[in-house]
Each structure stands twice: as structure tokens, then as C-alpha cells.
């Protein structure tokens, strides 16, 4: 009896254990099956494309055994079209064939692969594809590949847009300063190996500030866009035009053969900007000043070329030449820190650091020189000889131009007296800024200095730029009338570069018109410039005024001006600006001066 019970208990226990094990196994299988179903559902509805591929067979490569809904959505193809295809179904475009070949090489080498490429959908639309291929093994044997594919076009476009914003000007969409330096560095590197010329042009708009102040910044913005459009149209496809900020632009020329070709491009740019601009029905006129530096003549790196083109640009503004190449033989303005210059300028007069230079004017009818233009230089104790472009604009902005003008007038009158006492009756012309011209005390100051040095007023000429007069025409006209009534001679400098020149000419109490250098330097090669010069001379003479031509650089230009009936000429062909002592020696020894030939 006990044995039967024991046997029954053992059988029942054994059966119960086996059933428990079986139940556990069935539960685990059901769980795994549920997991597989969940995984399959997740794979099918995943947003990114997923493909399962067979191992590669011979040279055919792997075949697609499964794709999810995301894959079909990316390519716009039904699942049944894709099953059985090779990775060609990934749609990588022909121009990225190297990427596709690299994919196959990794597959045959059983190595994972990841890359980005441009791919094509069924309808031919291209998109940016990010893909990863991962080999899956079981027991050390490759069983299949899993490919993960994502359409990254939007994110890529966002990156491209951000890069574009970082490298371009937001207003004109031109390259900005950062891209300019990159392009210039690339051009210089290529030029070194190819032994060719690179030109950097810095351009600043003239009278743009007047547009902003008169019509508002909206007009200024529209004007800048139109300027950018014109600049693009004047350049070769390989050249670069950039906006550096404000009204300053830069141009890198890589296609010019020599300096003459660069000068021709600069003239073409200036001519394109001479045509009036129309903004919301309002006709606007602006000019430009261009400074040019050449590789390798003026520098071998981007920053040196930028600095020297900047110096040349400010020299252009001073001379109103339109464009100027950097000149190695002249002291280079290093455009030093402006704040420190302001501090140093305040004591420069007390320390007698300023010096006047004088540039002769030749009377074309008699051939004699009895007039000079007064120009200032700064013998800076640390920076060397500074040209006016490096400190006069700062003086104008800070108000220091007024005491500087007083000093110039006093020293010029003193020098005029010394020359007259030495038997040289030389007339002096002094430049007066807009701020000094509009100062109500200017006439009394001038009279005081004439009296101090006992100078006949006819020996003093005040040169005023046309733009200075246009800053406040009514006020300027009143001051000029007072000066003329005192017997002081008046001259309009840089004639032809301002607004409404002919309209105001007959109303101005002036004795002389100075033709801007930009017209004089081009009159031998440009019929238009020659016509302008001839017209100004005839017009001035009809109004009873003399004419002085600036920028005479050669004998042919001077002779042409003589034929046109021009009264006076000045420029490097006649003489560069020189100190008073040097001028006196030059006048004594030169047949144009005090020396007379018999």
C-alpha cells in the first residue's frame, strides 16, 4: 500500500515538473513572438527607411529582402517593386558614383559603411541621403545586412542656409568680409603657383551719407542693393565683389593681365556708377573712390593688400582722382588707432609737429608759377610722416579741424609774407572744410590774419569743395559773399563731383573753378572726359571765372589743356607738394619759377 502511494506521488511530481517547464517554455516563446511582432511593427512604421539585404552573392552584391514603409515613402515606390533589387535601389546619383562604389567595396569586405550622398526618388526628384549599412552575424556567419536610410535634405538646407548667412551680407547678398578674405587667400595661393597678378580694389561711395540723411536709411538700403547689382555686372565670373559694411565694397580681380587692365576695370566701375539711380521715383547720384593694391607688387598676403588698398582709397578721396594705385615711394599711412590719434592731435600744434607743404600751379598762358596750394603733413614723433588722409577725416569728425584750419591759415599767411619779403610774390590757396566754411567767425578770423601778416587779400585764395557748399547752400553763400567782399579770392574745388553743379555755379561768388582730377586724368583716352573738361573751361570763361585743372601727370595732358584754353594746371608733372624751403629753391632754379630764360 505504501509503495503504491509513493509511486503515484513520484509520477505525479515528475509530470507536474515537466508541465511546468513546458509551460515556461511556451510562455517564453509567446513573449519572444510578441516581441518580434512588436519589433516588426516598429520597423514597418519607423520614420526612417530600413532595408534588410541578403549576403552578397558573387559579384551581384546583396539583394533586398525587406523594406519598411519609411523606405517606400522616401523613394515613392511600392514594396513589391523593390524586393529583390540590389543597392542600386538606394538611388545614388551618377555624379556620386564614387560613393556607391565605396559602398560595394565595404559590403564585399564585410565592413560596416556610412556616408551621405545625393539620391533620386522614383519621380526624378533629388534629395540628400544619409545611409548606414550594418552586417548581422549568427555564430560567426553573416546572415544579412541592415540598411538605415534618412532623408536629410531639410537639415542639410538649414546648414547650407546658415553657412550662407555667415559668409554673405544680409542686405545685398554679396560675400561679406569673411568670405572676401577666404576668396582672396585662395586667389593668392593660385597666383603664386601660376605667377600671375591679383588686384584688390577697395571702393567707398561718395555722398552716400547725404542720401541717408536727406531721404532716410530705407533709400540708402535700396541704393546699396542697386550698387551691388551694377558691380556684379561689371566683373568677370571668376572675380569677387564683397560688401564690407556701410557703403564700402571690395573687389578681387583674378582675370586682369596687368595694371592697365585693372585700371580699365576701375574706370568701367566708376562709369557704371555715374548713371543716376532711381529709388521710389527719386533720382539719386553718387560717385565712388577706389583704392587699388596689386599682388605681388604691393604685398604678398591678404592683410597687407587690404591695408595698402585702404591707404590708396583714402588718397583717392583726398585727390578726387576716381581711383588710385598704392604708391610705394610715398610714406604709407598705417591708419593707426583713431582714439590715440585724437589725443595726440590735440597737442600736435603745441609741439609744432604739423608742417605745411606747397604744390605749385602753372599759369598755362605765361608759363610762370606764382601760385601754390597749401597742404598739411604731420611729422608724428612715433609714426613718421602722416598724409592728410590718416588724420584730417578724424579731425573733421571730432571738431579738431577748426583749430587746425586756424593754424594752417596763420602759417600760410606768415609764409606768404616771408616770400614777398624775399621778392617772390606768391599767391597761396588754403583748403577749408565744410565745418570751417559754415563757421560764422571765419571771415573775421581771415581778416585778422591778413592784418597780422600785412597780406593783400588778393594773395589769399580759399578753396572750398562743392560738397561743402551743398551741405548748407544758403549759409555757405552768405559766408562766401563776406569773404569776397573782403577781397579774398574763392575757388570751388573738385568741380563736377557734387549735386546740381551747373544750377548753383552762376550764383556762387567765386573766382576760379578747379576741374576734378578724375576728368583730367582720363581726358586723353576718354572722349567723354575730354568733352567735360572743354565744356567746363568754356562755361567758366563765359561766366568770367578762371579754370585750374588738377591731376596733370604728363606733358601731353598739359599741352592739351593749353589748347583748350585752361588757365592754370597743377599735378605731379609740374611738381609734387614740397616744403617751403624746397619750393623756394625749385622756383629759383626752374624756368617756370623765378628764373627767366633769355
Return left, alpha or beta for 56; rule: phi > 0 is left, psi -120 to 50 is alpha, else beta: beta
CATH 3.30.70.270 maps onto the chain at 168-325
Cell numbers for 538, please give them.
Answer: 568754356
Residue 457: closest CA among 486, 496, 425: 486
Strand runs labelled E in 55-212: 64-67, 113-120, 126-138, 141-151, 198-206
pLDDT at 402: 85
DSSP state of 544: T
Grid cell, residue 117, equals: 550622398
User: Which H/E stretch holds residue 253?
Assistant: strand 248-253
Q: Rounded to the nearest 5 degrees, what angle is found at the Cα of 206, between the Cα atoms of 295 and 348?
A: 80
Low-confidence residues of the chain, pLDDT below 50? Answer: 5-6, 8-10, 12-15, 31-36, 38-39, 42, 329-336, 498-500, 596-598
Domain 168-325 class, CATH top level:
alpha beta
- Residue 393, classified by CB atoms within 10 Å of its CB into exposed (0-12), middle (13-18) or buried (19+), is middle
Q: What is the pLDDT of residue 418?
A: 94
Q: What is the pLDDT of residues 240-294, one digit of tens each?
A: 999 998 899 999 999 888 888 898 899 999 989 988 899 888 888 888 999 999 9
Cα atoms in the 13 Å half-sphere on the side-chain side of 25: 6
pLDDT of residue 500: 44
The values of phi and psi at residue 353, to 5°, are: -90, -20
Q: How many CB atoms lie within 10 A of CB 289?
A: 25
Q: What is the pLDDT of residue 16?
A: 53
H or E, element range at 479 = helix 473-485
Residue range(s) occupied by CATH 3.30.450.20 in the chain: 49-156
- Classified by CATH at the fold level, domain 49-156 comes out as Beta-Lactamase (3.30.450)
CB 333, CB 389: distance < 8 Å: yes
CA distance 412 to 428: 7
- What is the domain class of 338-589 according to CATH? alpha beta
Is residue 233 helix, strand or coil? helix
Residue 9, pLDDT score: 46
pLDDT in tens, 68-112: 988 999 999 999 999 989 899 999 999 999 999 999 889 888 899
Q: Taking a C-beta distance cutoff of 8 angstroms, is the pair 263, 201 a contact? A: no
pLDDT at 13: 46
Residue labelled with grid coordinates 610722416: 385
Distance CA(188)–CA(228), nearest Å, equals 24
Look at residue 318 and give its three-state secondary structure. helix
Q: Apex CA 432: angle with CA 429 and CA 434, to 5°?
A: 155
Cα angle at 567 between 582 and 569, to 5 degrees?
40
Residue 39, judged by CB atoms within 10 A of its CB (0-12, 13-18, 19+), counts as exposed
Which ranges in the chain are annotated with CATH 3.20.20.450? 338-589
Torsion of CA 486, 488, 493, 499, to 10 degrees: 20
Contact by Cβ (8 Å): 290, 504: no
Three-state secondary structure call for residue 142: strand
For the question of whether the overall pTM of this predicted structure is more than 0.75, the answer is: no
DSSP code, position 333: P
Beta-bridge partner residues of 290: 203, 323
pLDDT score, position 36: 44
Instruction: Return the CA Rg of the chain.
Output: 40
At residue 538, the pLDDT reads: 92
Amino acid at each position: 500500500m505504501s509503495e503504491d502511494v509513493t509511486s503515484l506521488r513520484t509520477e505525479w511530481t515528475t509530470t507536474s515538473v515537466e508541465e511546468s517547464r513546458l509551460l515556461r517554455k511556451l510562455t517564453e516563446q509567446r513573449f519572444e513572438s510578441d516581441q518580434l511582432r512588436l519589433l516588426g511593427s516598429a520597423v514597418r512604421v519607423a520614420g526612417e527607411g530600413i532595408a534588410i539585404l541578403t549576403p552578397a552573392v558573387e559579384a551581384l552584391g546583396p539583394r533586398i529582402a525587406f523594406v519598411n514603409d519609411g523606405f517606400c515613402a522616401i523613394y515613392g515606390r511600392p514594396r513589391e517593386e523593390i524586393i529583390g533589387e540590389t543597392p542600386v535601389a538606394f538611388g545614388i546619383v551618377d555624379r556620386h558614383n564614387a560613393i556607391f562604389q565605396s559602398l560595394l567595396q565595404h559590403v564585399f569586405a564585410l565592413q560596416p559603411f556610412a556616408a551621405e550622398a545625393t539620391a533620386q526618388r522614383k519621380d526624378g526628384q533629388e534629395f540628400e541621403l544619409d545611409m548606414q549599412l550594418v552586417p548581422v552575424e549568427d555564430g560567426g556567419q553573416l546572415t544579412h545586412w541592415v540598411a538605415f536610410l534618412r532623408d536629410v535634405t531639410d537639415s542639410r538646407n538649414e546648414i547650407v542656409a546658415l553657412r550662407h548667412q555667415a559668409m554673405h551680407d544680409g542686405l545685398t547678398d554679396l560675400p561679406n568680409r569673411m568670405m572676401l578674405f577666404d576668396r582672396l587667400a585662395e586667389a593668392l595661393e593660385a597666383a603664386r603657383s601660376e605667377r600671375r597678378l591679383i588686384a584688390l580694389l577697395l571702393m567707398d561711395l561718395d555722398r552716400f551719407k547725404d542720401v541717408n540723411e536727406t531721404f532716410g536709411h530705407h533709400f540708402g538700403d535700396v541704393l546699396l542693393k542697386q550698387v551691388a547689382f551694377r558691380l556684379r555686372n561689371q566683373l568677370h565670373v571668376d572675380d569677387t565683389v564683397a560688401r564690407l559694411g556701410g557703403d564700402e565694397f571690395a573687389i578681387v580681380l583674378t582675370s586682369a593681365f596687368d595694371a592697365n587692365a585693372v585700371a580699365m576695370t576701375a574706370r568701367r566701375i566708376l562709369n557704371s556708377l555715374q548713371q543716376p539711380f532711381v529709388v521710389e521715383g527719386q533720382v539719386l547720384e553718387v560717385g565712388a573712390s577706389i583704392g587699388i593694391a596689386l599682388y605681388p607688387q604691393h604685398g604678398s598676403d591678404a592683410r597687407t593688400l587690404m591695408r595698402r588698398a585702404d591707404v590708396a582709397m583714402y588718397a583717392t578721396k583726398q585727390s578726387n582722382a576716381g581711383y588710385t594705385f598704392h604708391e610705394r615711394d610715398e610714406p604709407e599711412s598705417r591708419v593707426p588707432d583713431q582714439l590715440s590719434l585724437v589725443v595726440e592731435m590735440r597737442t600736435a600744434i603745441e609741439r609744432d609737429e604739423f608742417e605745411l607743404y606747397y604744390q605749385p600751379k602753372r599759369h598755362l598762358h605765361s608759363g610762370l608759377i606764382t601760385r601754390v596750394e597749401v597742404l598739411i603733413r604731420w611729422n608724428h614723433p612715433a609714426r613718421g610722416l602722416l598724409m592728410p588722409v590718416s588724420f584730417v577725416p578724424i579731425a573733421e569728425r571730432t571738431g579738431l579741424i577748426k583749430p587746425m584750419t586756424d593754424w594752417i591759415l596763420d602759417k600760410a599767411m606768415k609764409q606768404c609774407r616771408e616770400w614777398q619779403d624775399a621778392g617772390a610774390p606768391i599767391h597761396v590757396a588754403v583748403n577749408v572744410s565744410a565745418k570751417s566754411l559754415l563757421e560764422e567767425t571765419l571771415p573775421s578770423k581771415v581778416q585778422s590774419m591778413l592784418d597780422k601778416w600785412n597780406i593783400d587779400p588778393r594773395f589769399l585764395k580759399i578753396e572750398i569743395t562743392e560738397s561743402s557748399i551743398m551741405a548748407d547752400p544758403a549759409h555757405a553763400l552768405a559766408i562766401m559773399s563776406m569773404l569776397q567782399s573782403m577781397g579774398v579770392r574763392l575757388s570751388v574745388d573738385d568741380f563736377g563731383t557734387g549735386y546740381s553743379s551747373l544750377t548753383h555755379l552762376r550764383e556762387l561768388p567765386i573766382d576760379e573753378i578747379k576741374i576734378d582730377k578724375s576728368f583730367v586724368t582720363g581726358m586723353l583716352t576718354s572722349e567723354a572726359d575730354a568733352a567735360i573738361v572743354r565744356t567746363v573751361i568754356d562755361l567758366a570763361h563765359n561766366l568770367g571765372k578762371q579754370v585750374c585743372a588738377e591731376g596733370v601727370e604728363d606733358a601731353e595732358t598739359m599741352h592739351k589743356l593749353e589748347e583748350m584754353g585752361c588757365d592754370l594746371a597743377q599735378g605731379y608733372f609740374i611738381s609734387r607738394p614740397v616744403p617751403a624751403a624746397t619750393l623756394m629753391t625749385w622756383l629759383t632754379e626752374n624756368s617756370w619759377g623765378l628764373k627767366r630764360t633769355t
